């Protein structure tokens, strides 16, 4: 009698598919479906009137144009800053590379709206600290710079967008073996020629794709334009969409105005994916030999000064002014013992109820979203990596699909979808949870995917063949090996959630404010000290998590090994 | 100790059969090497036997146990097998002792003390005694390899599977480990399937070799049989170096190609049929005088190229009045120069006719 086990007739992919389908409907298809539907509906039925109205309005045309100008210049400026910095830290003997990388990483995790806010204190035309110093030095009446302008906006947004370019390029440069460059040099090309004819073309897909990422960043941003453009009297698409929600809300117009932003994002991301998909030709991924840093010679210190000038603008000056405002009785006054106080902290954390509630809400949302998100991302990544169900590629695609939805657009969709039956979530923390989960799923999935790619399937098979069942292998072998990667996933989602503004600003209600929204409110009230305290708190939390993540991964999260 | 029988095993990937109606019988205590170029289906076959893949058709039997058929598939953890992986697949978060002892945890009625004792014994067998508390990352490649071997053998599997286990080692160590694996096989006598693309490895290690070609077994036999009596052009070409001459059968025991006429080993050719003849380079000799052995094929030609290889000299000889170029391996005592006219003698037993 042959002993055998009857093959299970139950298809285990069914529950996976049902769960995933339901989740994705709730997270993406419902909001986007409603968004599209509302954009073409009116009391008289289906119509394009909303589009005609929106795109015929000269004010809105101006907002559209402003967004394009902003995005283009941010992209260009990010390249101008990011490419040289990547080359300097990736390829040359520039001193202090570790510190530079750490500071660029800090720029990457600094919430842009906090940077924008700090720059209001630094370069506001009248009270701005830098302008005051300048006027004191030159006895001029004119400010050095006015941050409330388009160029001011481009400047600030670039400070927190260039890290995208930097990361793209630095990682690509790491993959281009020195041999490729030396092969050029041995054939008689000068150093500059090698850079122009070999390194640059090899890095070009990464450069263009970094440009696209910076542009996308600028397109989707709400906080910086709201802080800098609105006082200057101009709008971008995102601030305009937000205005549609001021009383009385014009949801149809907001929807109609959101669709082009969504399409532009999807298109640009598609383009970027194409570019990166082709990079096989770059020979990157070949056997990478040891890289010998290029000596900068007498340019070494000049280059270092340049790099630190940029980092002063992104990190040193903004953090300093936030710290000063948090600890000073009056932020615009000079630092002295009389001017120091801790009252701002007690006020923010204990006395002012709005900030206290917001901190609790933010932490709650951060922990819940990060936990659910990490579990979901891990499950999806495991299923797709181990090809456990038919159609696993589609699952992976769906998990990263939300990346094309800008926060504001997602918020408009969620607002429409969940202010009506069957699921009325508006006014609860749940709608923010849905928004955050959707927004962070692609990042979480990418991290989890990398994690499981690093756990060789043979490690699991070795357990199976020695007698351990599927679940036991998952528990005793896969889970311990994936743990640090999943912790990192949790951290990524958590950091993303606590700094989120562009969706929150549309979905919050007085009972469901989060820190970022309160900072925005406080700005209207001119409560600079409380903002700074909250800002520092947010930064402290972020860096705490980043440290945790680095310990878990054993490397810095831009991808470099120590 | 049971053997393994594969009957009509088939595995398709998107319409392409990676393993195609494969038949193979491994006798108890035998070590059979699955040998073939990449893409021939050898690893897929091994993974089907292990249970990591489910076949579309066919059966897998171990002794009297059916492990896989159209109606039932036993999961890997209940196949009583062990496997040594190409990547070794040592768990980096477990120590050497924990790695080796892992499979023993699923043995009924085995106490912790028993387990520890068995692990120590096995580590002694693979000469890693004292390494119990190390982690895999603290070991050299060869040591990791031996931990993988210990982990597989300690559970006393009915069947042992090896998937190119030596391909990550450097050349010297690889040669040493071949003998080591053969020694362990002779000690433990476990029925073994061994996947490799390295023919020398297959020849040293195995009792029999199964040469795989496009998902099917092209030939099974001892190293000697496969080398001396290849049954297909593919096998002749893949195992060792050979000269392949495309010809037409003239009589039941002779073929012709233009002016060239060769008497061959077989005596049952159909006159007029197309036949490839395989002649190993070292079976061809330079005729020093006009007489060779009675009945040898004797052909004349001219040396085109000479390559000195140390233990032998490799000649390319262009045959007279023919487009055939034969490679001849000769001892280095004889030194001919390019351009010299030579006569070659080829015994008919060295001319192995192959069906097209």
Q: Using one digit for the tens of pLDDT, what is the confidence trace for B149-159?
A: 999 999 999 99
Per the listing, tokens 């699921």 go with A423
The mean of the pLDDT values for chain B is: 90
Measured between CA atoms, the residue of chain A closest to residue B90 is: A459
Confidence of residue A11 (pLDDT cuts 50, 70, 90): low
Q: Do A4 and B93 touch (CB under 8 A)?
A: no
A-B C-beta contacts closer than 8 Å: 84
Domain with CATH 1.10.3720.10 in chain A: 57-333, 347-562
* Higher-scoring residue by pLDDT: A289, B113: B113
Give one DSSP letter per residue of A345-368, joined into a string. Answer: HHIIIII-HHHHHHHHHHHHHHHH
Give one DSSP letter per residue of A60-112, joined into a string. Answer: HHHHHHHHHHHHHHHHHHHHHHHHHHHHHHHHB--TTHHHHHHHHHHHHHS-H
CB atoms under 10 Å from CB of B221, counted, come to 17
Measured between CA atoms, the residue of chain A closest to residue B62 is: A2
Q: Does B91 touch chain A (CB under 8 A)?
A: yes
Confidence of residue A12 (pLDDT cuts 50, 70, 90): low
Which of B71, B77, B93 comes nearest A480 by C-beta? B93
Distances in Å between the Cα of B49 and the Cα atoms of A183, A556, B188, B306 are 48, 43, 20, 47
Distance from CA of A452 to the nearest CA of B (A): 14
Name the DSSP class of A292.
P
What is the enclosing helix (H) or strand (E) of B234? helix B233-238
Collect all residues with Cβ–Cβ distance below 8 Å to B148 and sequence separation of at least 6.
B84, B85, B88, B89, B90, B165
Would you state the structure tokens that stand for residue B103, as one six-digit string? 């499979």
Residues of B in contact with A458 (CB under 8 A): 85-87, 89
What is the enclosing helix (H) or strand (E) of A258? helix A251-277
Collect all residues with Cβ–Cβ distance below 8 Å to B65 and sequence separation of at least 6.
A2, A3, A4, B2, B74
B85 has a pLDDT exceeding 70:
yes
Per-residue pLDDT, A8: 44
pLDDT for B263-288, tens place per residue? 998 778 888 889 999 999 999 988 86
- Rg of chain A over Cα atoms, rounded to whole angstroms, equals 25
Measured between CA atoms, the residue of chain B closest to residue A468 is: B77
Q: Do A464 and B82 touch (CB under 8 A)?
A: no
Cα separation, B264 vs B246, in Å, equals 13
Per-residue pLDDT, A4: 40
Q: Does A4 touch chain B (CB under 8 A)?
A: yes
Residues of A in contact with B193 (CB under 8 A): none
A414 has a pLDDT exceeding 70:
yes
pLDDT for A494-513, tens place per residue? 999 998 999 999 999 888 99
Name the DSSP class of A249.
P
Would you state the structure tokens that stand for residue B113, as one six-digit string? 């003390």
pLDDT for A370-383, tens place per residue? 999 999 999 888 88
Q: Do A4 and B69 touch (CB under 8 A)?
A: yes
Percent of chain A with pLDDT over 90: 35
- Please state the φ and ψ torsions of residue B8, each to the nearest 5 degrees: 60, 35
pLDDT for A294-306, tens place per residue? 788 888 899 999 9
Q: Which class does domain A347-562 fall in?
A: mainly alpha
Collect all residues with Cβ–Cβ distance below 8 Å to A423 and sequence separation of at least 6.
A26, A417
Residues of B in contact with A480 (CB under 8 A): 93
Cα separation, A374 vs A288, in Å, equals 33
Give the residue-averaged pLDDT of A349-369: 89
Cα separation, B287 vs B282, in Å, equals 14
A282 has a pLDDT exceeding 60:
no
Confidence of residue A551 (pLDDT cuts 50, 70, 90): confident
Confidence of residue A291 (pLDDT cuts 50, 70, 90): low
Measured between CA atoms, the residue of chain A closest to residue B47 is: A461
Whether residue A539 contacts residue A275, with contact meaning beta carbons closer than 8 Å, is answered with no
Measured distance between the N- and C-terminal CA atoms of chain A, rounded to whole angstroms: 59
Would you state the structure tokens that stand for residue B167, as one six-digit string? 């391909």
Residues of A in contact with B66 (CB under 8 A): 2, 4
**DSSP E strand boundaries for chain B:** 4-13, 16-26, 31-35, 57-62, 65-68, 81-84, 159-163, 191-196, 208-213, 216-221, 243-251, 254-257, 260-263, 274-279, 285-286, 297-308, 313-319, 325-330, 341-346, 352-355
Would you state the structure tokens that stand for residue A468, as one six-digit string? 């351990």
pLDDT for B8-45, tens place per residue? 999 998 888 999 999 999 999 999 999 999 889 999 99
Q: Does B179 touch chain A (CB under 8 A)?
A: no
Give the residue-averaged pLDDT of A395-416: 86
Tell me the CB-side half-sphere exposure of residue A546, using CA atoms within 13 A: 19
A557 has a pLDDT exceeding 60:
no
Q: Does A7 touch chain B (CB under 8 A)?
A: yes
pLDDT for B161-213, tens place per residue? 999 998 888 888 888 889 989 999 999 999 999 999 999 999 999 999 999 99
Q: Give the domains, in start order, of chain B with CATH numbers.
A: 4-235 (3.40.50.300), 241-355 (2.40.50.100)
Topology annotation, domain A57-333: MetI-like fold (1.10.3720)
Percent of chain B with pLDDT over 70: 98
Give the residue-averaged pLDDT of B330-345: 87
Tell me the pairing of strands B243-251 and B274-279: antiparallel
A132 has a pLDDT exceeding 90:
no
Q: Do A461 and B50 touch (CB under 8 A)?
A: yes
């Amino acid at each position: 009698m042959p002993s055998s086990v009857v093959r299970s007739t139950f298809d285990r992919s069914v529950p996976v598919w049902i769960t995933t389908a339901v989740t994705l409907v709730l997270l993406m298809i419902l909001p986007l479906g409603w968004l599209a539907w509302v954009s073409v509906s009116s009391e008289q039925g289906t119509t394009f009137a909303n589009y005609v109205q929106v795109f015929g309005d000269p004010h809105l045309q101006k907002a559209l144009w402003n967004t394009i100008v902003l995005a283009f210049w941010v992209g260009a400026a990010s390249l101008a800053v990011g490419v040289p910095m990547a080359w300097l830290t990736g390829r040359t003997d520039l001193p202090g590379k570790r510190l530079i990388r750490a500071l660029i990483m800090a720029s990457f995790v600094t919430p842009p709206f906090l940077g924008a806010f700090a720059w209001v204190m630094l370069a506001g035309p009248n009270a701005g600290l830098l302008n005051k110093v300048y006027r004191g030095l030159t006895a001029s009446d004119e400010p050095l710079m006015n941050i409330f302008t388009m160029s001011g906006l481009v400047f600030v947004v670039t400070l927190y967008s260039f890290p995208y370019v930097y990361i793209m390029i630095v990682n690509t440069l790491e993959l281009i073996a020195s041999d490729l460059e030396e092969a050029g040099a041995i054939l008689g090309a000068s150093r500059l020629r090698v850079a122009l004819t070999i390194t640059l073309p090899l890095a070009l897909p990464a450069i263009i794709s970094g440009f696209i990422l910076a542009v996308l960043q600028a397109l989707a941003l709400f906080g910086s334009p709201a802080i800098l453009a609105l006082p200057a009297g101009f709008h971008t698409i995102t601030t305009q969409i937000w205005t549609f929600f001021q009383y009385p809300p014009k949801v149809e117009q907001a929807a109609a105005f959101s669709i082009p932003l969504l399409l532009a994002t999807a298109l640009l991301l598609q383009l970027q994916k194409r570019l990166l998909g082709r990079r096989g030709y770059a020979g990157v991924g070949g056997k990478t030999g040891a890289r010998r840093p290029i000596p900068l010679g007498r340019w070494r210190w000049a280059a270092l000064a340049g790099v630190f000038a940029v980092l002063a603008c992104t990190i040193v000056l903004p953090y300093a002014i936030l710290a000063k405002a948090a600890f000073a009785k009056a932020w615009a006054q000079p630092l002295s013992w009389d001017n120091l106080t801790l009252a701002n902290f007690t006020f923010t954390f204990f006395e002012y109820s709005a900030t206290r509630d917001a901190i609790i809400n933010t932490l709650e949302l951060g922990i819940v979203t990060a936990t659910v998100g990490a579990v979901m991302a891990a499950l999806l990544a495991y299923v797709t990596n181990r090809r456990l169900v038919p159609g696993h590629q589609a699952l992976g695609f769906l998990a990263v699909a939300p990346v094309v939805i800008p926060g504001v657009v997602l918020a408009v969709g969620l607002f429409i979808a969940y202010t009506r039956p069957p699921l009325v979530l508006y006014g609860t923390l749940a709608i923010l949870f849905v928004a955050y989960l959707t927004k962070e799923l692609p990042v979480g999935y990418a991290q989890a995917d990398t994690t499981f790619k690093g756990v060789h399937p043979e490690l699991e098979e070795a357990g199976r063949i020695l007698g351990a069942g599927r679940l036991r292998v998952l528990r005793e072998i896969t889970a311990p090996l994936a743990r640090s990667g999943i912790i990192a996933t949790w951290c990524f989602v958590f950091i993303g959630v606590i700094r989120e503004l562009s969706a929150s600003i549309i979905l919050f209600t007085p009972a469901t404010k989060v820190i970022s929204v309160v900072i925005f409110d406080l700005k209207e009230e001119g409560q600079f000290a409380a903002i700074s305290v909250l800002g520092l708190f947010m930064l402290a939390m972020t860096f705490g998590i980043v440290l945790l993540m680095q310990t878990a991964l054993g490397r810095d999260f831009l991808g470099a090994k120590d | 100790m049971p053997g393994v029988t594969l009957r009509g095993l088939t595995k398709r990937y998107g319409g392409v059969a990676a393993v195609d109606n494969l038949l193979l019988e491994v006798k108890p205590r035998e070590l059979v090497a699955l040998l073939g170029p990449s893409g021939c289906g050898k690893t897929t076959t091994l993974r089907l036997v292990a249970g990591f893949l489910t076949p579309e058709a066919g059966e897998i039997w171990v002794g009297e146990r059916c492990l896989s058929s159209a109606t039932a598939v036993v999961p890997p953890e209940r196949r009583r097998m062990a496997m040594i992986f190409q990547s070794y697949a040592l768990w980096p978060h477990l120590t050497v002792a924990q790695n080796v002892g892992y499979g023993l945890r699923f043995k009924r009625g085995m106490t912790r003390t028993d387990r520890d004792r068995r692990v120590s014994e096995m580590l002694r067998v693979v000469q890693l005694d004292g390494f119990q508390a190390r982690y895999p990352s603290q070991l050299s490649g060869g040591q990791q390899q031996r931990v993988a071997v210990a982990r597989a053998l300690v559970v006393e599997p009915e069947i042992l599977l090896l998937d190119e286990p030596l391909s990550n080692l450097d050349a010297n160590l690889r040669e040493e480990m071949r003998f080591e694996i053969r020694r362990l096989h002779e000690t433990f006598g476990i029925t073994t399937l061994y996947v490799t693309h390295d023919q020398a490895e297959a020849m040293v290690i195995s009792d029999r070799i199964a040469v795989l070609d496009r998902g099917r077994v092209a030939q099974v036999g001892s190293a000697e049989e496969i080398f001396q009596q290849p049954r297909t052009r593919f096998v002749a070409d893949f195992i060792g170096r050979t000269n392949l001459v495309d010809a037409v059968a003239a009589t039941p025991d002779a073929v012709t190609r233009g002016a060239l006429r060769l008497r061959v080993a077989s005596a049952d050719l159909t006159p007029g049929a197309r036949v490839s003849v395989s002649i190993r380079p070292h079976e061809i000799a330079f005729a020093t005088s006009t007489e060779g052995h009675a009945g040898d094929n004797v052909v004349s030609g001219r040396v085109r190229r000479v390559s000195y290889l140390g233990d032998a000299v490799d000649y390319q000889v262009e045959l007279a009045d023919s487009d055939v170029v034969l490679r001849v391996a000769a001892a280095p005592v004889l030194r001919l120069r390019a351009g010299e006219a030579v006569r070659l003698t080829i015994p008919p037993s060295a001319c192995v006719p192959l069906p097209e």
